Amino acid sequence: MSIMARRHINDPIAEQAIEWMVLLRSGEATQTDYDDYQHWRRANVLHERACQRIEQTLGQFQPLIQSLPHDPIRQVLLTPSSRRKALQYGLGMISVISLSSLLLNQHYPLSPILSDAKTATAQRQVIPLNDGSVLTLNARTAVNINMHPETTVRQIELHSGGVMANIAQDAQRPFMISTKMGDIVALQASVNVRYEDGGVHVGVLDNIAKITNRLGQSVRVQAGHGVWFDDTTLYNTAILPEAETAWLQGRLEVYDRSLASVVRTLRDYTPGLIRLDPAIADLRVSGNFPLDDINYTLDSLAQTMPIAIVHTTDYWIHIRAASL
């Protein structure tokens, strides 16, 4: 998968578009699924743009048979023949290659390739730095590190995923965590930073940090408080320290989070693909779940929420509304 395609997946809307593409090429899609996809695509201009961007990389979403307007042609394609079987095989191989690329990227993130440090799916990594600071990378995280003694600023660049930074004191050299949407700066602090919901979440656990987005909006955040920001927006958020640090012990602790947000976190811990029906995406979730046992976590959610977990294959999980 290209670097551009991986960047799209960091966008929640693009994630949904990818899920639709995988379903439509899986051989499991029904006419109802295809109609639902068309409705979703037309419902919002951002949905349409996401589909167009991903189609530029992976090809058209719609199955070939849906794009043929004339019934006689459709009938020919539905008639068994050696040529028809060859065509099916060829189309199947194209789909397998595309889906294999998605699954490979899901397990071993393919971008950014040249990062100084990165983690794979379901992997966490502790990185001591030469100034005494310590980074802990969450799953599917990529960072560049610039800690040369001659520089005036200690800096890491967070390309994807999330990081806990325990920043050692240095009054002469601030520590900067640069993201796509802005920067977090501290002299000494503990901060939890992750890409979330199209922006960046920051939880300050010790001391103080200054957050500035690309528009130039900035705020100083004390320990026990948080901020969410993107290029043009910045606002304070409530945090719970135990929830901010739970992932360090392989736990996901959430309070009144959307199911969509929880699923995005779980995707970083499974090599397969998880599709969430948009109709249940806004259900609220509270609880403490293991990140390293996704099946147990999904079963726990299904026992306490009106959802059903469907394992089509070991690498394809569908979360839908429970049947009445």
Helix residue ranges, H only, 79-212: 82-107
**Rounded Cα gap, residues 68 and 186, in angstroms:** 59
Exposure string (b/e) for 234-268, b if CB count within 10 Å is 16 or more?
Answer: beeeebeeebbbbbeeebbbbeebbbbbbbbbbbb
> What's phi and psi for 38, nearest 5 deg?
-60, -40
Strand partners, 196: 199
Return left, alpha or beta for 256; rule: phi > 0 is left, psi -120 to 50 is alpha, else beta. left
User: What fold, for 117-245?
Assistant: Jelly Rolls (2.60.120)
Query: Domain-by-domain residue ranges, the chain?
Result: 3-107, 117-245, 250-321
Closest of 158, 128, 157 to residue 140, by C-alpha:
158
- SS3 for 133? coil
Which of 181, 184, 201 shows the shortest CA–CA distance to 265?
Answer: 201
Q: Are 245 and 224 in contact (CB under 8 A)?
A: no
Q: Count Cβ neighbours within 10 Å for each residue of 210-229 and write b for 16 or more, e otherwise.
A: bbbbeeeeebebebebbbbb
Question: How would CATH label the architecture of 250-321?
Answer: 3-Layer(bab) Sandwich (3.55)
Report the alpha-carbon distance of residue 248 to residue 127 in Å, rounded: 13
pLDDT in tens, the chain (324 residues): 333 333 334 456 777 777 787 777 766 677 777 888 888 888 888 888 888 877 765 556 555 444 444 444 444 444 444 444 444 445 444 444 455 555 555 545 555 566 899 999 999 999 999 999 999 999 999 999 999 888 899 999 999 999 999 999 998 999 999 999 999 999 999 999 999 988 999 999 999 999 999 999 999 999 999 999 999 999 999 999 999 999 999 999 999 999 999 999 999 999 888 989 999 999 999 999 999 999 999 999 999 999 999 987 777 899 999 975
- pTM equals 0.70
**Which CA distances in Å does 311 have to 193, 275, 308, 317, 318?**
32, 10, 10, 5, 6
